[in-house]
């Protein structure tokens, strides 16, 4: 390249060569990045991770994955909404272990990131009926972590039996199991905590960062701990909320526009029908039909029913004279 520049410097350029061409500015593509730390002992494979999350996330835009080492992957989204949906529907797991995501502007920031906060929907059970409100949910949630949202008890929670609070939880600490409830210095009860979409976690120490076999408590005991000594367990997993939680559903019926075939009209109905024909012409047809239908249903009795009597073949033959 230096040789070409020396050659051009000795040349006499004409006007067109001297004018040259204006180089356009490069188009800067906006990229939205997430760094994800995978708390698994297995070696990560970028293609395997992509195959796992693609059908779950269903991104509208392009998504690129890069392995940064130390079980950290960089996710680059061309659509900001795709990134927002990933964070909205936390927690996410890979190989049944927790994945912690952090939003990052530049790749150079990743080594300095701390991966510890994950958003969970926490169910609060065993609350007194007077405490089933959003204020109580926020107060309990603040004692667990950072409150993101408090669901409306009338919309979430089957029959208003518990509260649901969205909380950012520090996974490096044991998962909270319960909270005592106090009022003016007196204990009025306690609340049991359950976690929706809870991945694998250690039943010895209650942390999400490792399994039971990697726990320091287990390793120090050299296998001497017994299962009945575990302070955490599967009972901390919450059942998923069904899409339909209404206890009562009302389906409006369709009014009949004519008398059913299985009964004959009563005398009162005949009179009502005759009067309706000679009534005021100002009454609309819909009002007449609805009125007749309502009155007919009110007057239905077992005496009005016409019994069903099958016709015998012998009687038909005798009537015909055969």
Give tens-digit pLDDT for 7-37.
777 778 787 877 788 888 776 678 899 999 9
Residue 313 reports pLDDT greater than 80: no
Closest C-alpha among 101, 153, 77, 91 to residue 121? 91
Residue 317 has what pLDDT? 44
Q: Using DSSP bridges, classify how beta strands 117-125 and 63-69 pair: parallel, antiparallel or unpaired.
A: unpaired
Lowest mean pLDDT among 55-64, 141-150, 154-163, 282-291: 282-291
* Per-domain residue ranges of the chain: 32-112, 117-236
Chain-centre distance for alpha carbon 135: 23
The number of beta carbons lying within 10 Å of the beta carbon of residue 115 is 21
Is 53 in contact with 65 (CB distance < 8 Å)?
Answer: no
The pLDDT of residue 282 is 45
Give the integer Cα–Cα distance in Å for 198 and 163: 17
- Spatial distance between the Cα atoms of 92 and 110, rounded to a whole number of angstroms: 19
Q: Has residue 304 got a pLDDT over 50?
A: no
Find out whether 164 and 189 touch, Cβ atoms under 8 Å: no
Tell me which residue of 114, 109, 136, 263 sits closest to 191, measured CA to CA: 136
3-state secondary structure of 83: helix
Label residue 148 by pLDDT band (50, 70, 90): very high
Residue 269 has what pLDDT?
53
Query: What are φ and ψ of residue 138, in 5° steps?
Result: -70, -40
Q: What is the pLDDT of residue 242?
A: 62
Report whether pLDDT(263) > 70.
no
pLDDT in tens, 97-129: 999 999 999 999 999 999 999 999 999 999 998
How many C-beta atoms lie closer than 10 Å to residue 253's C-beta? 5
For 292, other C-beta atoms within 10 Å of its C-beta total: 19
Least confident span in 54-58, 186-190, 302-306: 302-306
pLDDT in tens, 150-196: 998 776 655 568 999 999 999 999 999 999 999 889 998 899 999 99
Between residues 16 and 234, which one has the greater pLDDT? 234
Sign of the torsion formed by the C-alpha atoms of 135, 137, 142 and 143: positive
- pLDDT classification of 285: cutoffs 50, 70, 90: very low
pLDDT at position 309 is: 47
Better-predicted residue by pLDDT, 169 or 253: 169
Average pLDDT, the chain: 80
User: To 10 degrees, the CA torsion angle through 44, 46, 49, 51?
Assistant: -140
pLDDT value of residue 298: 39
Per mean pLDDT, which range of 144-158, 201-215, 270-284 is the poorest?
Answer: 270-284
> Who contacts 162 (Cβ-Cβ below 8 Å, separation ≥6)?
123, 124, 125, 126, 127, 132
Assess whether pLDDT exceeds 60 at residue 209: yes
Provide the pLDDT for residue 161: 85
CA distance 165 to 168: 10
Residues comprising the chain, all counted = 322
Q: How far apart are CA 62 and CA 81, in angstroms?
A: 12
Structure tokens at 156: 């979430």
pLDDT band at 65 (very low <50, low <70, confident <90, very high): very high
pLDDT band at 249, cuts 50/70/90?
Answer: low
Q: What is the mean pLDDT of residues 244-252?
A: 55
Q: What are the DSSP E strand ranges found in the chain?
A: 32-38, 63-69, 72-77, 92-94, 97-104, 117-125, 146-150, 163-170, 178-183, 186-195
The pTM of the whole model exceeds 0.85:
no
pLDDT band of residue 201 (cuts 50, 70, 90) is very high
Looking at 3.50.50.60, 3.30.70.330, 3.40.50.970, 3.40.50.880, the CATH number of the domain 32-112 comes to 3.30.70.330
Query: Does pLDDT of 88 surpass 90?
Result: yes
Coil, helix or strand at residue 259: coil
Q: For the residues 242-263, what does the mean pLDDT come to?
A: 55
């Amino acid at each position: 390249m230096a040789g070409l520049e020396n050659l051009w410097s000795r040349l006499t350029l004409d006007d067109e060569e001297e004018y040259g061409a204006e180089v356009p500015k490069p188009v800067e593509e906006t990229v939205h990045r997430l760094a994800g730390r995978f708390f698994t002992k297995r070696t990560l494979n970028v293609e395997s991770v992509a195959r796992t999350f693609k059908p779950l996330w269903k991104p509208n835009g392009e998504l690129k994955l890069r392995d940064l080492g130390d079980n950290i992957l960089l996710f680059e989204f061309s659509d900001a909404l795709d990134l927002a949906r990933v964070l909205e529907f936390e927690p996410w797991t890979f190989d049944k272990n927790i994945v912690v995501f952090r939003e990052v502007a530049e790749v150079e920031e990743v080594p300095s990131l701390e991966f510890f906060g994950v958003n969970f929907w926490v169910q609060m059970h065993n609350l007194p009926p007077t405490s089933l409100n959003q204020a109580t949910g926020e107060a309990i949630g603040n004692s667990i972590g950072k409150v993101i949202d408090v669901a409306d008890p009338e919309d979430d929670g089957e029959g208003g039996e518990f509260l649901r609070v969205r909380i950012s939880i520090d996974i490096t600490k044991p998962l909270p199991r319960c909270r005592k409830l106090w009022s003016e210095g007196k204990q009025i009860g306690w609340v049991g905590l359950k976690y929706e979409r809870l991945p694998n976690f250690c039943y010895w120490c209650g942390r999400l960062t490792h399994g039971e076999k990697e726990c320091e408590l287990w390793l120090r005991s050299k296998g001497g701990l017994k299962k009945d000594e575990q302070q955490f367990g599967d009972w901390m997993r919450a059942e998923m909320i069904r899409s339909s939680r209404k206890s009562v559903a009302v389906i409006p019926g369709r009014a009949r526009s004519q008398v059913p075939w299985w009964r004959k009209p009563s005398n009162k109905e005949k009179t009502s029908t005759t009067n309706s024909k000679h009534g005021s012409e100002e009454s609309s047809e819909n009002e007449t039909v609805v009125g007749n239908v309502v009155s007919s249903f009110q007057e239905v009795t077992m005496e009005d029913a016409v019994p069903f009597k099958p016709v015998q073949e012998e009687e038909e033959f005798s009537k015909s004279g055969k």
